[in-house]
Amino acid sequence: MIQKDLNAVSLKGAQEGLSSAQKSSANNVADMKDNITTMETTVSDAEKAYNKTRNLYDQGQASKSDLDAAENALDKVKRSLDSLHRQLKALQETNTLAQAETQLESAEVNKRSIERALDNLEVKAPTSGILTDLNVEVGQSVTAGYRAGEVQQINPVKIKSQLTEASASLVRGKTELTFYIPDVLDKTTAPITYLSDVINGQTKAYDLELEIPNPDGKIKPGSKAQIQLTKEDEQIVPVVPTLSIVREGGDNFVYILNGDIAEKRKVELGRLNETNQEIISGVKEGEILITSGQHQLKDKDKVQVAN
C-alpha cells in the first residue's frame, strides 16, 4: 500500500510537471506572437518613413544619404521580423514537452503495474452463487489465476444446448423458447440469450443458451431440461412422400399435376419423419402431387391420370 501511495505521488508530480511545461510553452508562443505584432507595426512605420523620404528625394528636398539611411532602417526591421517568424516556427515545431510527457507516461505505466500486482492479491469469482469444490487450505500458497473452487450461479440459471444445423434454423429469428424440467417445472418460456452464428469446432454443433430466474433455487445446477424448438402451429407443415422426390445433383424436385400437364418444381426440404419429408418451399397445400412414374417425366409433359 505504501508503494502504491508513493507511485501516486510520482504520478501527480509528473502530471504537474507536464502541466507546467505546457503552460510555459504556451506562454512562450504567446509572447513571441506579441513581439511579432509589435515588429509588424515597426515595419509599417519604417515603410512609411522610407516612402516619405523617397518622395522628398524625388522632389530634390532630401539627399541620397537620407534615402539610403531610410532604406537601411527598413531592411533592418524586416530582417528582425523574419527572425521572429523563424523563432515562432521553431517553437511550434519543436516538442519542448517531450521530457515531461515521457516522465508522465512512465509514471502511468508504473501505476498500472502496481495496480495489477495488487489485483492479483485479491480472490475474485467471475459471478455470484454457491461456492463448491473448494481446493485450498489455510496457509497454502497459490499463484495468480489458481482455480481455488467453483461458483455455481443459481439465480438466474442458464439452460445450455447444442443444436444441429437443421435445429438451429428452426430457432433463428426467435426471441424465446418453451422448455420444461420433468417433475420440477412445467412448461414455461425463457428468453434466448445466445445462439451462435457459426458451428462450434469442438462439438460440431451450434450453441444455444436460455436464461431464467430462479429466486427460490428450485432449479438445481446440472438438471436436465427439455426445450421445445417449435410451437404446435409450426408443426403443421406441407409434407410429401419421400419416394415422390426426384433428386438431380444437389437439387430436389417434385412433379405437380396441373390439368393434364406435369409441372416440375424445385423444392427445399426440411425435416424427415419416417417416409414423409417436410417441404419448406416449392409447393402449396392442396396441389396434386405425382407419386408414380415421376422419374420418367420431363417438365410440361402431358400425362394421363389413371383411374
pLDDT-based confidence at 145, cuts 50/70/90?
confident
Q: What is the mean pLDDT of the chain?
A: 80
Q: Residue 229 domain-assigned? A: yes
Q: Do 7 and 101 share a domain, yes or no?
A: yes
In a domain, 221, yes or no: yes
E strand or H helix that includes residue 239 = strand 239-241
Backbone angles phi, psi at 207, to 5 degrees: -80, 130
- 74 with 128, same domain: the answer is no
Considering only the C-alpha atoms of the chain, give the largest distance between any 2 of them, rounded to a whole number of Å. 134
* Cα separation, 211 vs 130, whole angstroms: 18
Give the cell for residue 284.
Answer: 402449396
Residue 97 buriedness (CB in 10 A; 0-12 / 13-18 / 19+): middle
**Bond into 238 cis (ω within 30):** no
Do 93 and 169 belong together in one domain? Answer: no
Q: Does the pLDDT at position 2 exceed 50?
A: no
- pLDDT exceeds cutoff 60 at 98: no
Q: Are residues 287 and 185 in the same domain?
A: no
CA 238 – CA 230 distance, rounded (Å): 15
The rounded distance, in Å, linking the Cα atoms of 239 and 253 is 13
Q: Is 80 a domain residue?
A: yes
Final residue belonging to a domain, choices 116, 133, 166: 116
Higher-pLDDT residue of 5 and 238 is: 238
Are the CB atoms for 291 and 246 separated by under 8 Å?
Answer: no
Residue 106 pLDDT grade (very low, low, confident, very high; cuts 50, 70, 90)? low
Percent of all residues in the chain with a pLDDT value above 90, rounded to a whole number: 20
What CATH number does the domain containing 298 carry? 2.40.420.20
Decide: 72 and 82 in contact? Cβ < 8 Å: no
Same domain, 242 and 293: yes
Q: What is the pLDDT of residue 298?
A: 92
Structural domain of 141 = 123-153
- What band does 64 get if pLDDT is binned at 50, 70 and 90? confident
284, part of any domain: yes
284 and 219 in one domain?
A: no
Which of 31-45, 105-119, 258-272 has the lowest average pLDDT? Answer: 105-119
Domain finish residue from 116, 145, 166: 116
What pLDDT is recorded for position 114? 60
What is residue 3's predicted lDDT score, i.e. its pLDDT? 46
Kindly state whether residue 57 falls inside one of the protein's structural domains: yes
The DSSP secondary structure of 31-51, one letter per residue, reads HHHHHHHHHHHHHHHHHHHHH
3-state secondary structure of 231: coil
> Same domain for 194 and 230?
yes
Name the residue among 264, 250, 251, 261 with its Cα closest to residue 295.
Answer: 264
227 and 253 inside one domain? no
pLDDT for 10 beyond 70: no
Total-model pTM: 0.40
Q: 96 vs 24, which has greater pLDDT?
A: 24
In terms of domains, do 241 and 229 share one? no
Task: Please say which residue of 108, 135, 153 terminates a domain.
Answer: 153
61 in a structural domain: yes
* Residue 307 lies inside a defined structural domain of this protein: no
Q: Give the integer Cα–Cα distance in Å for 19 and 22.
A: 5
pLDDT value at residue 153: 78
* C-alpha dihedral sign at 292, 294, 300, 303: negative
What is the band of 105 on the pLDDT scale with cuts at 50, 70, 90? low
207 has a pLDDT exceeding 90? yes
Reply yes or no on whether the pLDDT at 93 is more than 80. no
In this structure, what DSSP letter does residue 243 have?
G
**Is 207 within 8 Å of 160 (Cβ atoms)?**
yes
To 10 degrees, the CA torsion angle through 75, 81, 87, 90? -100
Is residue 42 domain-shared with residue 21, that is, in the same domain?
Answer: yes
Please count the structural domains in the chain. 4
Q: Give yes or no: residues 229 and 244 share one domain.
A: no
pLDDT of res. 4 = 46
Q: Is the pLDDT of residue 193 over 90?
A: yes
Question: What is 146-203 written as a DSSP string?
Answer: ----EEE--SSEEEEEEE-HHHHHHHTT-SEEEEEETTTEEEEEEEEEEE-SS--TTT
The CATH number of the domain where 192 resides is what? Answer: 2.40.30.170
- Tell me: do 96 and 12 sit in the same domain: yes
Is 84 among the domain residues?
Answer: yes
pLDDT value for 223: 86
